[in-house]
Structure 1
Amino acid sequence: MIITDVETFIVGNPWKNWLFVKLHTKEGVYGIGEGTLNGFAKTVEAAIHELKHLYIGMNVHDVETIALKMTRDVYSDGGQIQGSALAAVESACWDIIGKEANQPLYNLLGGRCHEKLRCYANGWYRGPRDPQMFHEKAKAVVDKGYTALKFDPFGNAWRTVEKRDFQTALEIVAAVREAVGPDVDILIEGHNRFSVHTALQFADAMVPYKPAWFEAPVPPQNISSMVEVAKRSPVPIACGEDYYCREQFAELLKHDAVHIIQLEPQYLGISASKQIGGMVHAHNGVIAPHSAQGPICSVICAHLNMATPNFFIHEIFDEFNEPWEEHVLIPPMKVENGYLQPPEGPGLGIDLNLEEIAKHPYHPGHWIPLFKQGWEKRQKLD
């Protein structure tokens, strides 16, 4: 299966422009992938086309070599942009390999390790930063059958917070815990916001509400800061969605401080993601891949999670997005009573609905401004 061309499609989803690819082969079989990166849809799209001279003419089975050509051989560190371009192409290769083998992707990655995938809801709290709003919407999430949900109660906080904002964040956490009861897991999203000191203050204050994790409490660049928080926090720390190479995970894992790893297949590709899952397994940890990009990313994570013995929990943003999202993929992937099965068709098991995609063009205001007041409302920016 020789790669002959690549097409790209940007879908104007209001909270984040999605970037999809369609990779063509000489044999007429095509694969799809995703390269979504908040705020950089057109930039990643340009990278996919600028680097295509490195993978056009390659055999889709040579995914490791394609990855090296698109990263090592370029001899530049393009970070998440380069990683997103690689992941889009490499995922499409795996889709084609699965179609050729007539097997779902998870069977190519090791087969079924789980009967079904437990999911947590994200993106459900669109609205004002108010404890009552969080309380009401959390109840609605649990009514859908979810046994876990994640949220960011911190507004537009950055590094430090004033006492009133600190108290508001705790009131929101308390409101959610009261709404869902003691048996539902609540996961607190930090979005890389805080200094070490502030993160530890919040971690200590959250203890009465028994969160299952405190995610990305400090910026990811200084791994020593993440390790310090993880070792001192009474709440489990989760992180990893920002990292785009194996070496960053190796540096994090060698400290044996963080044991919930949220690797991002969108920046790594499927092959590296599977390898990192094994690295985490060797450190007695679990993976909970970041799956808040677009719907193809969610499908990829479902296949990866099904084939990973140390999988913990699957992130679902799709159900709480725009209603038209369920028409973007054929067939749509559905959560049932808080659990998920990956598609059973060959490869990824899904295809693009180009007619629906054409209805939602790119818009520069489609991104999440996490440090802007009122970002939780997820309103389009001009």
Structure 2
Amino acid sequence: MVSNKLTNDELKRYARHISLNEIGLSGQQKIKNARILIIGVGGLGCPAALYLAAAGIGTIGLVENDVIEESNLHRQILFGNLDVGRKKIHAAADKLLLLAPQLNIEKFPVRLTQENAVEIISKFDIVIDSTDNFEAKYLINDLCHVLLKPLIYASINQFDGQLAVFDSRFETSFNYRDLFPSKPPHVLSPNCAEAGVIGVLPGLFGCMQANETIKLICDIPSGLSGKLLCMDSITLETRLFNVKLDYLNPLRRPGFTLHDVTEEKSNFINTSVQQLEVTTFLSWLKLKKQFQLIDVRSDEERQVISYGGLHVPLINVKGMSVSIRSEVPLVFYCASGNRSTQACAMLESMGLGKNSYSLKGGVMELMRQNTEATQIFRRFDQHGVLIAT
């Protein structure tokens, strides 16, 4: 049990913190009493843990089940040559205790899953997402939203990084699903092992995660409120983007509870909506069956890859009745099938969706089956209707 009172040694150790008006003695006591969970002890988690331990955090929880490899060493600064082959979580705990012997470390040498995430996350005050895969990020985001846990998000790729603070204790705070409603195709989101990353980049963003954590603990206002920070480490261009709340975000659905949090592959699917298999979709094209194709993705997603059809972003679906060709089936598509299912459900609620389909698996499934986008794109007119000839 961590004592609330700072010891004489701690008063000396954290004197430079205490001299800051924004922190002071009371702030340093808050830091000591804080319980912070770091999920992922890799490129982001290592510097975040190191600086939070140095700052005097009382309890740090670590979630990690991976083993140290030589290719980790250029960016995961808690580890050295002698640690290769060791469990990351044990090596990290040893290094942190050398820096801060008074630190209480709670180790969870597991992969975060549906089965264990609630029990782990609910024990802590603030969560730091240092993971490198979308499945974990959606799970962490959804649970922190429901459990009202502030979440410090960061993501890195090659030379670029992103940072945000999601705090569902406040209704005006955005979350990960406002940025990315559904998981992008794997080919558009490779991990560090596939795409590479400059070693200092996770150090920069892990430190910024630690900085935002300390500000939250000490009630220091953040310039990140309602914003996403993006940085290009080649040009050193840093931009802050205002993020609009997506009121179609399923986390804002009335009555949404912890039991509604599911894995991304089956997230928020309305089972009453007709799902069109990609194989059937392709056979319709081959047979020149008349139907209207509607893309409900964002402009940015469509610029990366498009299979054509009428473009109606999901937020505008309720106002698209004048564009609907009622004499032919409607086929909605998105990245994974989640938003297209929501689009069909919206039309059904308006009494217009009896002949509508959601393309199951969306763009990701089309890409998985090596479907050439241009071969489909050119077969639809300006209204998204298949050209018969």
TM-score of the aligned structures, taking structure 1 as reference length: 0.24
**Higher relative contact order (Cα pairs below 8 Å, separated by 6+ residues):** 1
TM-score of the aligned structures, taking structure 2 as reference length: 0.24
- Quick check: which has more Rg, 1 or 2? 2
